Amino acid sequence: METIRKRFNKALAGRPVETPVYAVYDWFVNNRPVVDWEYLFSLGLGRINHANLVRHAHPNFELKETKSEQDGKTRRDVRLVTDRGELHEWHLGEWRQEYFIKTPEDYRIMKHALEGVRVFADVKPFLASEASLGENGITIGQVQGLGSGRTPLMVLQIDWAGLEQFSVDLAYGTPELFELIEVMNEIKLEEIRQAARTPATQIKLWENLSIDTLGHAHYRRHQVPLYKQILEIMGAAGKKLQVHYDGRLKVIAPDIADLAFDGLDSFTEPPEGDLSTFEARRAWPDKFLWQNINLNWYSLPEKELAAHLKRVIRDAGKSRHCLMISEDIPPNWQKNVPNVLKILKEINGVLLKHE
């Protein structure tokens, strides 16, 4: 039987794969020790590792972090210190409780902090990941800096300002916001240039985009032009761009079709998303669908789970598609993950066609 890596590579290349890959993000492997991952890997679960492809020098700021205990959890306070002021955020466990940016002045401090940032290619994490994986999965490159590997608008919305503050400032056209975005866009493009120098073929932006929280107009005005610049750089270097789009996408489906994304990462059917696999494949016939299995499916009787899996595999087609654990650990993983692997083996060799 073909290895997981070979099946991944065939599907990415647009060649038919008899048994679809079912794989898990490395974040869960590294942060959910309660799961017996080695057992699941022995059954055929694949791995999707992520490796940062760049490193940064930032002469205008210093990050200072302290940890303490609060309500039985680890509290982590982070201070971003510059010669023009400092910003503060804090986390409780895995969740951010306060954001760096709270006022227009904070945008100015962050802009000053980022001025003079230098970006360098870094191949070591990618090569180490590939060596550790062997034939059991693949490594996707990422471009993480201060933000979590996203484009600037998404960094501000999710990581630095938060949805409420960001939405207000975007709606009112706060000048300091857009001045910061200009600086961040240039850094992002340089990150992409440096990442394109590494051996990684697939590079991911962790957008976490759901159009409900950004809006179609802002997507077209701000995201599309930047994506086109990123894609031009990557295309010239023979690299492929994956975007983590795990939310509602129907209203921007034509815009996505017009962009040369290689694939949509963590694509999820309703109710989390708003497109079925059939609709997604009709909208994007050539894009790779990295499909997250809806968590509620795992709680269904086995026959219903199998029916869902057979349907999405049929509708996605026999290439340019895989199944993933990318949003959360399945409930009752001891039973349900092996069940999925068993169902996929039963599908092996069956010719699947669109009805």
pLDDT at 347: 82
pLDDT at 148: 83
Structural domain includes residue 112: no
**Beta pairing partners, 325:** 24
Q: Is there a single domain that holds both residue 192 and residue 340?
A: yes
Q: Is there a single domain that holds both residue 76 and residue 203?
A: no
CB under 8 A, 24+ apart: contacts of 166-172 = 167/213, 169/104, 169/107, 170/218
- Is 247 strand, coil or helix? coil
Q: Is there a single domain that holds both residue 171 and residue 260?
A: yes
Each residue's pLDDT tens digit, 21-36: 999 999 999 999 999 9
Domain containing 299 equals: 4-57+117-347
Nearest to 208, CA basis, from 148, 142, 138, 140: 148
Nearest to 66, CA basis, from 77, 55, 74: 77
Each residue's pLDDT tens digit, 320-329: 999 999 999 9
Structural domain includes residue 107: no
Structural domain includes residue 328: yes
Q: What is the tally of structural domains in the chain?
A: 2
pLDDT at residue 331 greater than cutoff 70: yes
Q: Given CA atoms 29, 32, 36, 40 in this order, what sign does their dihedral have?
A: negative
Q: Given CA atoms 274, 141, 152, 90 in this order, what sign does their dihedral have?
A: positive
pLDDT at residue 330 greater than cutoff 90: yes
Q: Is there a single domain that holds both residue 160 and residue 194?
A: yes
pLDDT at 240: 98
Q: Is there a single domain that holds both residue 143 and residue 157?
A: yes
Identify the CATH number of the domain in which residue 137 sits.
3.20.20.210
Q: Is there a single domain that holds both residue 135 and residue 193?
A: yes
- Look-up of token digits 């910003």: 87
Each residue's pLDDT tens digit, 79-136: 999 999 999 999 999 999 999 999 999 999 999 999 999 999 999 999 999 999 999 9
**Phi, psi at 328, each rounded to 5°:** -170, 165
pLDDT at 353: 41
pLDDT at 19: 85
